Amino acid sequence: MNANILQTPIDYLKGVGPNRADLLRKELGIHTYQDLVNFFPNRYLDKTRFYKINELQRNSAEVQVVGKITHIRSVDQKRGKRLVADFIDDTGKMELVWFRGQKWIRENLKINTPYVIFGKINWFNGLFSMPHPEMELVEEYKKQLRTAMQPIYPSTEKLAKSGITNRVINKLMQQLFIETKGKFYDTLSEEITTELKLIPKAEAVFNIHFPQSQELLAKAQFRLKFEELFYIQLQLLIKNMLQKQKIKGFVFEEIGQNFSEFYSNHLPFELTGAQKRVIKEIRADLGSGAQMNRLLQGDVGSGKTIVALMSMFIALDNGFQACLMAPTEILAIQHYNGLVELCKDLDTSIYLLTGSSKTKARREIHEKLENGEIDILIGTHALLEDKVKFKNLGLAVIDEQHRFGVAQRARLWRKNQMPPHILVMTATPIPRTLAMSLYGDLDISVIDELPPGRKPIKTVHRYDSNRLKVFAFIKDEIKKGRQVYVVYPLIQESEKMDYKDLMDGYESIAREFPNEQISIVHGQMKSDAKDYEMDRFVRGETQIMVATTVIEVGVNVPNASVMIIESAERFGLSQLHQLRGRVGRGAEQSFCILMTGHKLSNDSKTRLETMTATNDGFEIAEVDLKLRGPGDIMGTQQSGVLNLKIADIVKDNEILKLARHHAMRILKEDPSLSLEKNKVLRFTYAQLAKHKNIWNYIS
């Protein structure tokens, strides 16, 4: 069918008119015929059979019955009246009841004329009754373009108030199919449809709105979900491919002095198999002539920093500089101290630049950076300032991806005649499913094993009533010379309450541990006071750190072996996992204790069970994704990331993998989609791009 009719503004559809068009645009984002076609039902009522009155059961099902009204009357009740009609078929009698709109209903009901009624059944005074039934004359019912399964469309309060009911949407949908004659050209190649036994596009679109049977509905949903995910993956893969062709990168062929010297003589421990594999992937990228864009995922403590450092050495060995950008000053300082320690026996010049660097130090850094005396610069957003100019930046490592947008990555590029290679590190395990969609334009490496000698953290759930036992356990650990974190949730809306919880907690711990030194850190402190307290804990001058979640990112205290999370039910899964990662950094056995009250929601129970059952960040991320949905996981700025029309990233995980597999296979054989058999793919892809319907929500 001619694609252009689908671009017709919705105002022109018979039955819409200017007011309705306005509401459809504002409330549902429906601007064109195409948008209406892609406005899919979110559930279906099964009207596949008619019940006889004597077959009705006392359950809450919605059913349909055919019969006649024999008598109508008004009945007085406590407040006002109700309208009651006797409704019969050849097996018995029931009542229809209305509490509202009685005058209009009474005037419009026809006596002794066959009706189809549909609604929920009640049992009252020895008779079945149906309040406010949906009704249609049998002769009208037979004329409708209709389906046994009735689609229910998503709605909003405003639409309901303005009279745009489900029935109205259904009527508009029927009108749309009349005007377009239900002809939709196929958008997938014959090769794919045959191989996957997909039903044709026109049949799928018809059956998603007017399903002729349960089976056809299932086939229609599969076909449309596959298509949506297939084009997303196709777009991502093409984007990645073009990036590699278009954006040339520096070629680092040399593996020289820095890398070899460090690898042979200064590695603090043997690299794990996963680390070796990832370094190999990065080396291949750096030598390929295309710009590297790689996402490095690895759980807390999996050794991402060593991988990043060795990648920086490759840049240095090829005569280039490298930088590492962290989201907070504390983290930047920590990276700096860590790298200086690792390179102490090497001739590598490493500098630190943050918002609080003094003017004199800044000037010196700017100068040395431009004349190439600095090898590695570590810092915060301060690295993005225009004054910061590198002599030749070859590799930028970015820690904790989703705090740096794409625009910021691009600012690093502008510091060069050619863009540097980019390595993005994240300790937030992003489920494979989501990673495929969100970071489809980045290549992904995963470090999925912990360094040898690390003992998995033991996690337990305890109720508030066991608090004394928990305190006794803490005392034992402190006697062994260990340190302890006690973390309280931070719920922005009620800062006063949070502060009170934290202070109450602090006081009860101070009473319980009169001989120990205690640090306290919370969001209302000035940053130098915070740093001072953190620093005392890092140096081992305090044994217990009472804090809100500000300690979540990055603090590294190998001697801390116990993490107590208060009101653990108020934390999300990924946060619990991040907090747990603050311990378990030394050789000793570490513990994470989740404290809660006895009243827990089902989701909270699932989260706590998941935490006690596994230390695997990816497993945890998958559960988190199921509980929260994709929007929340990526944080607010990307919560609209996947405004999918019909597919669901979590539930349709298998279809997503299938779609990606086919998209990859096709592009491998035919990168420009120029083969005759892929003509339809090329055309559809161009249409999607042209009408901005391409699902361009890649972060």
Report the CATH number that the domain containing residue 54 is assigned in CATH.
Answer: 2.40.50.140
Residue 585: which of 688, 485, 478 has the closest Cα? 485
Residue 16: which of 6, 2, 30 has the closest Cα? 30
Give the pLDDT of residue 637.
32
Give the pLDDT of residue 263.
93
Domain boundary among 119, 147, 175: 147
- Cα dihedral 550, 552, 555, 556 in deg (nearest 10): 150
pLDDT-derived band at 59 (thresholds 50, 70, 90) equals low
Its sign, for the CA torsion 480, 483, 486, 487, is: negative
Q: Which structural domain range is residue 160 located in?
A: 3-45+154-183
Q: Pick the more confident residue, 275 or 450.
A: 275
For residue 296, how many C-alpha atoms fall within 13 Å in the half-sphere facing its CB? Answer: 29
Its sign, for the CA torsion 437, 442, 443, 445, is: negative
Give the pLDDT of residue 552.
47
Q: 183-221: string of b/e by CB count within 10 Å (b at 16+)? A: ebebbbbebbbeeeebbebbbbbbbbbbbeeeebbebbb
Residue 510: which of 543, 548, 463, 470 has the closest Cα? 543
Looking at the structure, tell me whether residues 14 and 140 fall in a common domain: no
Q: Are strands 544-547 and 458-463 parallel, antiparallel or unpaired?
A: unpaired
DSSP H or E segment with residue 64: strand 62-76
Inter-residue contact 51 to 63 (CB < 8 Å): yes
Looking at the structure, tell me whether residues 279 and 406 fall in a common domain: yes
436 Cβ contact partners less than 8 Å away, ≥ 6 residues apart: 233, 656, 657, 660
Looking at the structure, tell me whether residues 502 and 548 fall in a common domain: yes
pLDDT tens readout for residues 65-91:
999 999 999 998 887 889 999 999 999
Give the pLDDT of residue 696.
38
Whether 441 shows a pLDDT value over 70: the answer reads no
Whether 198 shows a pLDDT value over 90: the answer reads yes
Looking at the structure, tell me whether residues 273 and 377 fall in a common domain: yes
**Position 436 in a domain:** no
Longest CA–CA span in the chain (Å) reads 100
How many domains does the chain fold into?
Answer: 4
pLDDT tens readout for residues 268-296:
888 999 999 999 999 999 998 888 989 88
Q: 59-96: string of b/e by CB count within 10 Å (b at 16+)? A: eeeebbbbbebeebeeeeeeeeebbbbbbebeeeebbb
For residue 381, the 8-state DSSP code is G
Compute how many other C-beta atoms are within 10 angstroms of the C-beta atom of residue 436: 21
Looking at the structure, tell me whether residues 159 and 79 fall in a common domain: no
Inter-residue contact 396 to 423 (CB < 8 Å): yes
Q: Are strands 393-399 and 321-325 parallel, antiparallel or unpaired?
A: parallel
Alpha carbon distance 297, 445 (integer Å): 6
**Position 96 in a domain:** yes
Mean pLDDT of 229-237: 87
Looking at the structure, tell me whether residues 589 and 484 fall in a common domain: yes
**Position 469 in a domain:** yes
The SS3 of residue 416 is: coil
Looking at the structure, tell me whether residues 577 and 491 fall in a common domain: yes
Mean pLDDT of 299-313: 88
pLDDT-derived band at 694 (thresholds 50, 70, 90) equals very low
Residue with tokens 């081992």: 540
Inter-residue contact 667 to 234 (CB < 8 Å): yes
Give the pLDDT of residue 547.
87
Inter-residue contact 137 to 104 (CB < 8 Å): no
pLDDT-derived band at 221 (thresholds 50, 70, 90) equals very high
Mean pLDDT of 556-575: 88
Looking at the structure, tell me whether residues 80 and 10 fall in a common domain: no
Residue 331: which of 550, 38, 102, 571 has the closest Cα? 550
Alpha carbon distance 657, 663 (integer Å): 10
- Output 123-126 pairs: Cβ under 8 A, ≥24 positions apart: 123/58, 124/95
Mean pLDDT of 185-208: 94
Looking at the structure, tell me whether residues 58 and 39 fall in a common domain: no
Residue with tokens 């700025």: 637
Residue 382: which of 296, 321, 323 has the closest Cα? 323
pLDDT-derived band at 406 (thresholds 50, 70, 90) equals low
pLDDT tens readout for residues 82-130:
999 999 999 999 999 998 888 889 999 999 999 999 988 888 888 999 9
pLDDT tens readout for residues 626-644:
777 654 444 333 333 456 7
Mean pLDDT of the chain: 85
Looking at the structure, tell me whether residues 410 and 498 fall in a common domain: no
What's the whole-model pTM score?
A: 0.61
Q: What is the CATH number of the domain that holds 163?
A: 1.10.150
In the chain, the percentage of residues whose pLDDT exceeds 90 is 43
Looking at the structure, tell me whether residues 69 and 20 fall in a common domain: no
Least confident of 25-39, 81-95, 508-522, 525-539: 525-539
Alpha carbon distance 112, 687 (integer Å): 54
Whether 383 shows a pLDDT value over 90: the answer reads no
pLDDT tens readout for residues 455-493:
889 999 999 999 999 999 999 999 999 999 999 886 554
Q: In what order do the strands lie in the sheet with 122-124?
A: 122-124, 127-131, 92-98, 81-89, 62-76, 115-120, 134-137
Inter-residue contact 71 to 131 (CB < 8 Å): no
Give the pLDDT of residue 115.
96
Q: Write the Ramachandran bin of 75: left for phi over 0, alpha for psi from -120 to 50, otherwise beta.
A: beta
Give the pLDDT of residue 333.
86
Residue 300: which of 556, 527, 569 has the closest Cα? 556
Q: What is the CATH number of the domain that holds 373?
A: 3.40.50.300
Looking at the structure, tell me whether residues 272 and 398 fall in a common domain: yes
Domain boundary among 584, 614, 644: 614
Residue 586: which of 560, 561, 563, 558 has the closest Cα? 558
**Position 449 in a domain:** no
pLDDT tens readout for residues 598-630:
988 888 999 999 999 988 887 887 788 777 765
Domain boundary among 614, 636, 656: 614
Mean pLDDT of 30-35: 91
